[in-house]
Structure 1
Amino acid sequence: MGFNVNFAPVLDVNSNPNNPVIGDRAFGSDKSKVITHGLRVMEGIKEEGILAVVKHFPGHGDTHIDSHIELPIIEKELDELKELELTPFKEAIKKGVDGIMVAHILFPKLDSEYPSTLSNKIIEGLLRNELGFEGLIFSDDMTMGAIVENLSIEEAAVKFLKAGGDVLLICHGYENHLKVIERIKEEILEGRLTEEEIDEKTYRIIKTKKKYGFEDNIIDKIDLELLNSKSKKLLDRIDKKVNP
């Protein structure tokens, strides 16, 4: 149908029962189940030639605030995160995940100034250098409350790129896209964002597109009737197993 990227699976360990945004999007509160089920979904997505982007690094499971509305804060030490939140992401990296989305969450014990999406300490220091991730790093949507209640979208976009991120998500407002593009051009012209930095991100994107065979060609028309009939058969089989 033309889909080539899936922002899934959610690898958050939903350890906070009062979490208003993760809930049943996660595979549960048991990290072993999150790892087992999450990696199977990730592999299934990859097998279909689709880029799986696991989320929300370094973990959105222990929040009581929805980052779509405002900025959550998690007061955990790195050692605590390594014991729980980071484990599914570490396993996904070992299995060769090619995309990771970073969360709009402030972890003061890791970076007291910037949320994960804008933090060089978390993106470059933790995700790239310590965990050894070499794939694409995506932002969460830059129009979410956690960002726009604190910064302009243009400023946040530049900080994400400077922090080491590759792909910006701006999910609302074409005018926001235009403003960000102009701001990035301005940053490059004034030397605050180098062409080398942009090139590195571009090459990483091209490498991933080549790996998955992504092209700009128009796909053949899809037989939706056939597709839906196959999907229904699969869902019927699953239903019989779940409800014998």
Structure 2
Amino acid sequence: MSLDPGLRRLALRTLLAAFPGTSAPGWAVDLVGDGLAGYTLFGYNIAEPAQVATITAALRDARHDVLIAIDEEGGDVTRLAHATGSPYPGNAALGAVGDASLTQRVYEAIGAELAALGINLNLAPTVDVNTAEENPIIGTRAFGADPEQVAAHAAAAVAGLQDAGVAACAKHFPGHGATVADSHLELPTVDAPLDLLRARDLPPFAAVVAADTKSIMTAHIRVPELTGDDPATFSRAALVDLLRGELGFTGAVITDALEMKGAALAAGGTARAAVPALAAGADLLCIGAQVDAALVEEVAAEIVDAISGGRLPLARVEEAAARVDALAAWSSRSAPGPSASGTSASQRSEGSMTDLGYAAARRAIQVEGSLEGMAGLGAPLVVQIVAASTIAEGPVPWGLGPHINGTEQVRVAAAEAIPADLLSRAGARPIVVVGRHAHRMPEARALIEALAASHPVTVVEMGWPSLWRPAGARAFVTTYGASYANGRAAAEALGLA
């Protein structure tokens, strides 16, 4: 059955899709011409800067105000540098430094890189207050666990991005920081009263609204007192009454990916999640990463059918499309568009904006104990404990590896490693153990403490810091993230770079 052309175009104006490969396929370009709001670029779309600029130019040729989005948070979540790790520290490191002006400069540098490539919407910053130490999906993506600290850095990040001409998208409303589940995999519940939500989770969102963030992303989390049994993405109480009514937000509300289980399972599928999201007050629907033309048409058909059947008011979809149009108009006016080389004028004038990232990562390093005397014992054995990446992070390289050429390094699975073998391999040399969220891994904790019981051991923690400290370790180094910049800063602190 063919769709009403006007309603199909209206539905497409509310969709943020994706496509596979390192060039824009014909169907993706055609959908832009048909009215599709835009696309999100993922790591699999990115090979090198000039190629990315070619993609964005092709999409912009189809319509000048197409939205081209990316998740470029710096730190552990990077798409531009997915092959190597980000040259910028992430939010946890910036929060640890405690200099909001530095945060603004880092985000302005990230924005300048995106603008040079023709990307005009960054699905960042993450402004969740990470109050759950065991949070499996936010962690180092957060500026910290203190609402006021997070609010100050969130506003600075938004200002930095938007000063560079790239629209910011603060996420994940009404706050994903208190969860102990990943909304990619299930529907997490934050069973908190509204007063606690207002005191703990909402101050950063109030701050980004005051900073004029152009968009805010919803969370697929359930807050029973606010959202009932539904995720916030499907809750009018969350998106209209609280976000717009109480906090005064007038920009575009963007959903987190509808393919995520927190939304798809609640609605009965990715396409079926579109209608309750729009009805709740969302404006731009991020479909997800695994998208083809057929899925885009299926989502559009669900919206058109709901309008035609009276289940979704036409005025609501027109309102959503108008807000998306306004976001696109701001982005197309503010961003300079891609350069042929993918290099921005601000980058050229600074020499290398990544120097800013390395300097910031060095400022974030925290050392407990003493590193003195380690050099006198000889070059250490570096033991990196294997740790899984989250879906948001993806398989991005991490560790000290690229920064300490000539120093022996081994990668071990904590559950399989034999302490005696590592001690024998180290001999008289000290051991540096590099971990990521080691406190969450009983086998990693046991391995580190077994080594430290009889040998000089320094621990480098590159995940979210916890209260756990291994007995016997001579020093504990916290990087507040696992980006390329964080690894380089840790290697320098240890005297290994």
Matching residue of 2:302: 183
Alignment of 1:1-244 (within 5 A): 1-150=117-266, 151-171=268-288, 172-174=290-292, 175-214=294-333, 219-224=338-343, 233-240=352-359, 242=362
| CA pair 70-235 structure 1, distance change in 2 beyond 3 A | same
* Structure 2 CA distance for aligned equivalents of residues 72 and 170 of structure 1: 19
- Distance in structure 2 (CA, Å) of the matches to 1:112 and 1:148: 17
Report the CA distance between 1:207 and its aligned residue. 2.0
- For residues 124 and 315 of structure 2, what CA distance do their matches in structure 1 show? 30
Give identity over the alignment, percent. Answer: 33
Instruction: Note if contact 1:4-1:214 (Cα within 8 Å) is conserved in structure 2.
Output: no
Answer yes or no: is the 8 Å Cα contact 1:15–1:29 preserved in 2. Answer: yes
**Would you say the 8 A contact 1:54–1:100 is kept in 2?**
yes
Aligned mates of 1:124, 1:93 — CA distance in 2: 14
Cα distance in 2, alignment partners of residues 191 and 75 from structure 1: 34
Cα displacement (A) at 1:145: 1.6
- 3-state SS of 2:169 partner: strand
Instruction: Tell me if the contact between 1:100 and 1:138 (Cα under 8 Å) persists in the aligned partners.
Output: yes
Contact 2:347 2:353 (8 Å CA) reproduced: no
Q: Tell me the distance in 2 between the aligned counterparts of 1:46 and 1:136.
A: 15
Contact 1:103–1:139, Cα closer than 8 Å, also in 2: yes
Is 231-240 or 135-144 further displaced after alignment?
231-240
List runs of 5+ in structure 2 lacking aligned partners: 1-116, 363-488, 493-497
Query: 1:165: how far off?
Result: 0.6
Deviation at 1:176, TM superposition (A): 2.4
TM-score (normalised: structure 1): 0.91
Equivalent residue of 2:224, what SS? coil
Distance between the aligned counterparts of 2:342 and 2:247, measured in 1? 42
* 8 Å CA contact 2:158, 2:211 repeated in 1: no
Normalising by structure 2, what TM-score? 0.46
More moved, 140-149 vs 55-64: 140-149
Quote the offset at 1:48 in angstroms. 0.8
**Whole-angstrom distance in 2 between the partners of 1:3 and 1:67:** 26
Secondary structure of 2:353's match?
Answer: helix
- Which one-letter code corresponds to 1:155 in the other structure? R
In the alignment, the residues of structure 2 paired with residue 81 and residue 136 of structure 1 have an alpha-carbon distance, to the nearest angstrom, of 22
CA offsets 1:98-150 (integer angstroms, 9 cap, x no match): 10000000001112221100011111111111211111000000011212233
Q: How far did residue 238 of structure 1 move?
A: 4.6
CA shift for structure 1 position 229: 6.3
Inter-partner Cα distance in structure 2 for 1:154 and 1:139: 13
Distance 1:227 1:114, change over 3 A: same
Secondary structure of 1:56's match?
strand
Whole-Å separation in 1 of the counterparts to 2:270 and 2:355: 44
Alpha-carbon distance in structure 1 between the residues aligned to 2:359 and 2:172: 33
